[in-house]
Amino acid sequence: MRRVLLVAPALLSACSAAPVEGGPPQTIPVHGMTPGHKCDASDTARFIGQAGASETGAAIMRATHAAVLRWAPPGYMLTMDYSDSRVTVRLGPDYRVTEIKCG
């Protein structure tokens, strides 16, 4: 048991990420963000009224530059966490798009 306690710190230190000299600086990932993706829902009015289908979702993701798509059917509860790289699509009782927002 004693040997395990002595070897454990050495094994854990091997898992740490050391910066590469001359390489790009390492960024620390932030929960809820995907690098290179920032949602912009300013040009999404054309999707209002369309059916909530996978093709519509894919087109909305392309139009908003989002990394994550979150569907919100009627009566569906959503978390309040905010993510710059996520688009939320609210659907009406007929499962047609009623609102598109980032977050």
Q: How far apart are CA 39 and CA 4, in angstroms?
A: 47
Q: Tokens representing 21? A: 């000299």
Residue range 4-25: mean pLDDT, rounded: 57
What are the residue ranges spanned by the domains of the chain? 38-103
| Lowest mean pLDDT segment, chosen from 11-15, 57-61, 75-79, 91-95 | 11-15
| pLDDT one-digit tens code per residue, 34-84 | 667 789 999 999 999 999 999 999 999 999 999 999 999 999 898 888 888
* Helix ranges (DSSP H) in the chain: 2-13, 54-64
Residue range 92-96: mean pLDDT, rounded: 96
- What residues does 90 pair with on adjacent strands? 72, 99
| CATH 3.30.10.10, domain 38-103, yes or no | yes
pLDDT recorded at residue 24: 55
Q: How far apart are CA 103 and CA 98, in angstroms?
A: 16
Q: How far apart are CA 14 and CA 18, in angstroms?
A: 9
Type of residue at 39: C
Of the two residues 33 and 46, the one the predictor is more confident about is 46
pLDDT recorded at residue 66: 92
Q: How far apart are CA 61 and CA 86, in angstroms?
A: 9
SS3 70: strand
Would the pTM count as exceeding 0.85? no
Banded pLDDT at 9 (limits 50, 70, 90): low
